[in-house]
Structure 1
Amino acid sequence: MPRTRLAPSPTGALHLGNARSFLVNWALARQQGWEIVLRVEDLDGPRVKAGANEEAIDVLQWLGIDWDAGPFTQRSDLAPYRAALEQLAAQGDVYPCRCTRKEIEAASLSAPHGDEHELRYPGTCRPATPTPLPPEALEQSGVAWRLRVPDGTTTFIDHVAGEHIHNIAATTGDFLVATKEGLPSYQLAVVVDDARQGIDRIVRGDDLLGSTHRQLLLQHRLGIAPPPAYYHLPLVVGADGRRLAKRHGDSRISLYRDLGVTPERIIGLLAQWCGLGPRRNLSATEFLAAFDLAKLPRQPITFTAQDDAWLRA
């Protein structure tokens, strides 16, 4: 049976944009007969907020979203990531990097990658030729590990965004697969988790289209096949056109719940954002019955002051 995952990250509270993605993912899964895994992606240590795991799960349940397996966390078992890193090392696909972010910023003429968290790596520590390494080489302290990225573009077909072409070498270069703290990067962890949990349907925001190319490269290097089917949704953005965030005001689901806003009111707004007609109160079950992927807008949705006022009315 096909499987998808809801994968909240406990680096902050779920906001309206997150909720729309999770609701669409859930509705697609229930319509198509996919199993749903709940996986809390809790590896980003410095940014993880206390209690955010529990709050994310509570908010999803409050909205009427359910799942078939989990919740699973990543930090509870790091062994699968280590095994993947050892495989990449043995193949000569990774190398140690001691560069700091400041050094990368100083050496690179490129602007930050689109996810705003990763600069293009200029290749400072990259060996001239691939070098297979034994597992004990990974015990070096104070080093991160990067994947050797080939030149050129890659292409995949997304079920929402269509054909997507990307050049990893030009945008992020050799990207991180493990941090100096000894933890797997997001890119490595998500590939390993999706493979071991049988995830073959991935629904998420289109800000991760570029990441998908990196993940497909990792899947290839790790011998993971076939690749999942991807559904990248246009984002909910603020008035400035940027991904919805704190800078646009407080759009947390928990805020609206504390104000007495009902889940039906929130889902009603999300339904309008999904092309399901004028906003009106809807339950998750009613959203499920009405949802049609073909009606989903193919452009970003702007969260406005009028949207906020309607929720609070």
Structure 2
Amino acid sequence: MTRKVRTRIAPSPTGFLHLGTARTALFSWAFARHHGGEFILRIEDTDVARSTQEAVDQIIAAMKWLRLDYDEGPFFQMQRLARYREVIAKMLADGSAYRCYCTPQELDAMREAQRARGEKPRYDGRWRPEPGKTLPAVPPGVEPVVRFRNPLDGDVSWHDMVKGTISISNRELDDLIIARPDGTPTYNFCVVVDDWDMQISHVIRGDDHVNNTPRQINILRALGAELPEYGHVPMILGPDGDKLSKRHGAVSVMQYEEAGYLPDAMVNYLSRLGWSHGDDELFTREQLVSWFDGHHLAKSPAQWDAAKLNWVNAHYLKGMTDASLAALVSAQLARRGIVASEAQLTPLCGLFKDRCATTGELADWLGMYFADVAPSEQDLASHVTDAVRPALRALRDKLAAIEWNKAAIGAAIKETLAAHSLKMPQLAHAVRVLVCGRAQTPSIDAVLELFPRDTVLARLRSV
């Protein structure tokens, strides 16, 4: 590339970082890293009424959790107001922008009349200066907006990294408001000035921004700025084909961290929503950067698949060391009010991790080692029967006297089965229900070995 690659992610702090924005951040980060460029974090906080510090903190925390390190930022638009006003003043002076004194009531009446005539509602340019045109008298007491003087003829065309050539007629675009009556700049204007000042070379974003792009291109051209390349990726859809939303589980990125997903797994899964490298499904962060050259971005929407995410996460979870998993599970248990050291959890993680997709599921299993269990009435009735109770009491007595290891526990169970003419599932299920609170676990001797002996004996005394 002839131009240094500089990409950005620019979330609004009116809510937490959601999955679609996280994917856009990932694509922008990977593209910059592939080309040896720079990745910038910008917070678009001009919606003062809805922006919150909590959302800013969550956005930064999510970027840190995903390990999408940025080279510059975070920049905040509200700290750049003087720069926006400087550019607007220049545009007013050179005629590429003008003041419009239409009241909201006038604009409503204008649009209503256009609809009645079957026309597309749009600003009619009544305050747009033209040679030989007489403008209305400035009404008293009306604070003007500032509008961009959009070209009247021709087309706005660009080659999109995802969609190919896109062309929009300037006749479809009216004169965009770039500053409100109180002087605060609008979204499309701030984005243009920011991308210009920050020398953004490539803008990768959701295709809901396609309609903004011709307006932004025209403003950039009016400013004499170099245009970035644009790539508009299709939205992520829910399993039902509708836009991904909260009802599909599209919660903030950090809620996935709390649920026990791993950042490398989330990066792996998100990158495959709208991009591919052959048939590769599982790959490292380093491979992603090596492969992500801006090609192979899908033109069709991707579909969120929670089961696929769990499969990917389980792969990464199984690849972690038991000690590393123990640190994550300790934090999961702490959220539930259970204190467990990493040393205690390490062997437990080794035994149970193959059964789990997330560290949250691991914590569900391992909680039984540190807190009382409450077997369901159905499990008790099904497995702790009168036929098994004598064997349970006999096994308890044996367990009280043996050396506490897997081999000795297994031998005690086999002796009890032989003495009471029972089959392994009859006794093992009953022990699991009483000691673990559930009827299914890994091998019962391996499970019991990791309990304190006193805990096992106490839970078996209930029979």
* Partner of residue 38 from structure 1, selected from 19, 22, 41: 41
- Residues 203-242 of structure 1 aligned to structure 2 (within 5 Å): 203-224=204-225, 226-238=226-238
- Counting matched residue pairs gives 295
- Residues 23-172 of structure 1 aligned to structure 2 (within 5 Å): 23-93=26-96, 94-100=98-104, 103=108, 106-107=112-113, 109=115, 121-123=122-124, 125-127=126-128, 129=130, 142-152=143-153, 153-170=155-172, 172=173
Shift in Å, 1:81: 0.5
1:89-127 CA-partner distances (Å, limit 9, x unpaired) = 1123323244439827645539xxxxxxxx953326433
Give the letter aligned to residue 6 of structure 1.
I
Give the letter aligned to residue 160 of structure 1.
V
Change (3 A) 1:88 1:239: farther
Q: CA-atom RMSD, angstroms?
A: 3.0
TM-score by length of 1: 0.82
Is this contact kept in 2: 1:10–1:49, CA < 8 A?
A: yes
The percent of aligned pairs where both chains have the same amino acid is: 32
**Secondary structure in 1 aligned to 2:79?**
coil
CA distance in 1, matches of 2:194, 2:22: 22
CA distance in 1, matches of 2:292, 2:125: 49
TM-score by length of 2: 0.57
CA distance in 2, matches of 1:142, 1:304: 50
Is this contact kept in 2: 1:92–1:130, CA < 8 A?
A: no
Change (3 A) 1:169 1:126: farther
Is this contact kept in 2: 1:63–1:284, CA < 8 A?
A: no
1:72-98 CA-partner distances (Å, limit 9, x unpaired) = 111113111101111121123323244
Is this contact kept in 2: 1:272–1:278, CA < 8 A?
A: no
Shift in Å, 1:189: 0.8
Query: Structure 2: which 5+ runs fail to align?
Result: 133-137, 314-356, 359-463
Shift in Å, 1:286: 4.4
1:31-64 CA-partner distances (Å, limit 9, x unpaired) = 1111122211111223323321121111011101
Is this contact kept in 1: 2:234–2:300, CA < 8 A?
A: yes
Is this contact kept in 1: 2:101–2:144, CA < 8 A?
A: yes
CA distance in 2, matches of 1:52, 1:207: 22
The yes-or-no answer on 1:3 pairing with 2:3 is: no
Equivalent residue for 1:250? 250
Query: Structure 1: which 5+ runs fail to align?
Result: 111-118, 132-136
Give the letter aligned to residue 164 of structure 2.
G
The yes-or-no answer on 1:15 pairing with 2:18 is: yes
Quick check: which one's strand share is greater?
1
CA distance in 2, matches of 1:175, 1:155: 18
CA distance in 2, matches of 1:256, 1:105: 45
Is this contact kept in 2: 1:5–1:39, CA < 8 A?
A: yes
**Secondary structure in 2 aligned to 1:294?**
coil
Change (3 A) 1:249 1:107: farther
**Secondary structure in 2 aligned to 1:78?**
helix
CA distance in 1, matches of 2:233, 2:79: 30
Change (3 A) 1:240 1:32: same
Change (3 A) 1:99 1:34: farther
Change (3 A) 1:221 1:24: same
Runs of 4+ that moved beyond 6 A: none
Is this contact kept in 1: 2:268–2:285, CA < 8 A?
A: no
Is this contact kept in 2: 1:97–1:125, CA < 8 A?
A: no
CA distance in 2, matches of 1:13, 1:107: 40
Comparing 282-291 with 11-20, greater Cα deviation is found at: 282-291
Give the letter aligned to residue 204 of structure 1.
R
The yes-or-no answer on 1:259 pairing with 2:259 is: yes
Structure ranking higher on relative contact order (CA contacts 8 Å, 6+ apart): 1
Change (3 A) 1:36 1:89: same
Shift in Å, 1:148: 2.4
CA distance in 2, matches of 1:57, 1:130: 50
Quick check: which one's helix share is greater?
2
Equivalent residue for 2:195? 194
**Secondary structure in 1 aligned to 2:34?**
helix
Comparing 29-38 with 203-212, greater Cα deviation is found at: 203-212
Change (3 A) 1:143 1:283: farther
Equivalent residue for 1:116? none
Shift in Å, 1:306: 4.5
